Structure 1
Amino acid sequence: MTPRQPLFFHRAQRLLRAAALCLTAAALAAPLATPAHAEAPQVKTQVPGYYRYQHGAFEVTALYDGFIDLDPALLKNTSQTEIQRLLAREFLSAPKMQTAVNAYLVNTGSKLVLVDAGAAKLFGPTLGYIVDNLRAAGYTPAQVDVVLLTHLHGDHANGLVGPDGKAVFPNAEVRVAQEESDFWLSQGNADKAPEDFKGFFKMARDAAAPYQAAGKWKPFSGETELLPGVRAVAARGHTPGHGGYLFTSNGEKLLIWGDLVHNAAVQFARPAVAIEFDSDKTQAVRTRQKIFAYAAKEKLLVAGMHLPFPGIGHVRQDGKRYSWVPVEFGPLR
């Protein structure tokens, strides 16, 4: 080591100590110098209520009208203990059953077909969003060519008219089974109905009125082909003319079945369970059992107005029971 080396090392050590002190000071000061950032606020809104599915050459858009809370006591033919057990099995143990109200928009390439029209706002603020979601999906009410009604209960037909009583779908023909139209539009039936049931007849008449006046209310009879690839399917029991619609394209089939199921957790496991709203509970059960068996055997794609949104999927048979298998989210292809 030369005589100058100790001085060199002494100076280097001093410089290192000074640098370490500076770095320590900077590290301690850094949190104080960094400006505080507020947490991102919660959005508090859901995504638009529509979902698309490619069905052969048809494009199907599920539309969410909203939801209604139903009392489990409305379900019949089994005990409330069993109903609560089945709800809890699907993690649905609330005292009310949240029940979706759906509609389906099918673009066949030549026609824009809407199956059911939702409830409007006549059943409270949690419903009545069909038109909003139709617009969010890229369409306008004036573009709808045909409205197919599964039946004339208010949560399926009220959306045909606005608060002003005018047609929401001004260019559309409305198709519904003749039996359904005859029953609900009959003043005689309305007069004979229980007092707390008369309002349902008025809702049906109000929904039909502007389309009747325009010559666009078009009842049909039987399981007829209404449009190329679109056939009516009888599903009576829930109402006198309740039915669904079978859409067929490129060999693929989709059955939109209306109110065959009101609660998926209960009625797939127990198809014999009816609901208070069924006009003929025995027939409603028979119809459900028949269509469940057919859908499971044929691996038929189905959609329902009160299945959890988007309400499109398959029915799987598990012994004497059935299960609901919803479609997975994915790109159109």
Structure 2
Amino acid sequence: MNPTPIARALLACTLLLGAAAQAAAPQVRTQAPGYYRMMLGEFEITALSDGTHPFPIDTVMTHIGPEQIARDLDQAGLRAPVQGSINAFLVNTGSKLILVDAGAGSLYGDCCGKLLDHLRAAGYRPEQVDEVLLTHLHKDHAGGIMAHGAPAFPNAVVRLSQAEADYWLTPANKAAAPAFLSSFFDSAAAAVAPYGKRLQPFGAFGRIESGIEALPAPGHTPGHAMYLVQSKGRKLLIWGDIVHVSAIQLPHPDATVKYDTSEADAQATRRRLLDMAASGQLTIGAAHIAFPGLGRIRASDGAYQWLPLNYDGAPAAD
């Protein structure tokens, strides 16, 4: 028998009320674990997020005016303060597990220090890491090698350029540096101290491990390094702090940050690497471009564009 109009109305109300009740479930408001995996030839690359923090564009960016910054952000659909990603990259060569940069650890507060949790979520343990390669000794790259005064990676050797180690670990340099960098010297010394003889700077750029080469990238810091990872003809350039805010520095590569040791060198290095990446079809691993920080560069009328890698839900060897 067909239901009466009143019965149909009551049924509809019941369904609506039920739907409303389901929609009232509490919001979760936490992000998914911050890791993303890709294959590079026979190497497995896992991008790891240490978190994001509000990047103080208005007080940090130099060689670009506030009006242009506002236009660049608007063009990218952004507004200040922009959340800056802190990314690191785990390379599993099949024989070694190598981490490039380690995030800020506890040095940036509650926003960050998530790398170890995300490494575990990705299926690895800190004690499995054989080497940590640092692009430089700034807090947001080296702070994460230490946890509560102990090595965060208890079995790892820590490597970086000798020039970088000499600069940040020499007390006389702290006295001569700008005051705003003073705490950077303290944090660098504290971060590497627990490693003792397992801190092993390299005196010359070149081959670090099979398939991994250290290259100079001067400007941001005195001994800033980047790492070229290669397997089966595929190349990934993990470039550290070449770009801090892609929405600004890709259309305007001469824009710098006040933390650059040499603005002229930073500008020249950035343009050289952007040209190299655009012409060579390199994949870039970027420390501060939106997570996972993996993409390519395209040149366009003197400026550059970031092309994020297409999501691959089931990465497999090439």
* TM-score between both structures, scaled by the size of structure 1: 0.89
CA contact (8 A) 1:222 1:234 kept: no
Q: Mark the structure with the bigger radius of gyration.
A: 1
Is residue 2:288 matched to residue 1:306? yes
**Aligned pair 1:93/2:79, yes or no?**
yes
Counterpart check, 1:30 vs 2:11: yes
Which residue number corresponds to residue 301 of structure 2?
A: 319
Q: How far 1:194 moved relative to its partner? A: 3.8
Q: SS where residue 125 of structure 1 aligns?
A: helix
Structure 1 residue 197 displacement after superposition: 2.3
Distance 1:69 1:190 in 2: 26
What is the aligned partner in structure 2 of residue 207 from structure 1?
191
| Cα shift at 1:233 | 0.9
Post-superposition shift, 1:203?
0.3
Matches within 5 A, 1:1-333: 23-24=4-5, 26-31=7-12, 36-37=17-18, 38=21, 39=23, 40-73=25-58, 74-94=60-80, 96-163=81-148, 165-212=149-196, 215-330=197-312, 331-333=314-316
For these two proteins, the number of residue pairs brought into alignment is 310
Q: Segments of 4+ in structure 1 off by > 6 A?
A: 32-35
Cα gap change, 1:79/1:25 in structure 2, threshold over 3 Å: closer, same or farther? closer
TM-score (norm 2): 0.93
Instruction: State the alpha-carbon separation in 2 of the partners of residues 184 and 256 from structure 1.
Output: 22
Amino acid in the other structure paired with 1:313: G
Which amino acid in structure 2 is aligned with residue 208 of structure 1?
V
For the residue of structure 2 that corresponds to 1:309, the secondary structure is coil
**Structure 2 unaligned residues grouped into runs of 5+:** none
- 1:284-328 per-position Cα deviation (integer Å, ceiling 9, x unaligned): 000001111111111111111001110011010102111111101
Q: Which runs of 5+ in 1 are unaligned?
A: 1-18
1:67 positional shift: 1.2
Listed one character per residue, the Cα deviations across residues 31-72 of structure 1 (whole Å, up to 9, x for unaligned) are: 576694312332211111000011100010000011121222
Distance 1:90 1:35, change over 3 A: closer
Q: Distance in 2 between matches of 1:143 and 1:33?
A: 55
Higher relative contact order (CA 8 A, sep 6+): 2
Q: How large is the RMSD of aligned CA atoms in angstroms?
A: 1.6
Between the aligned residues of both structures, percent identity stands at 43
Distance apart, 1:123 and its partner CA: 1.4
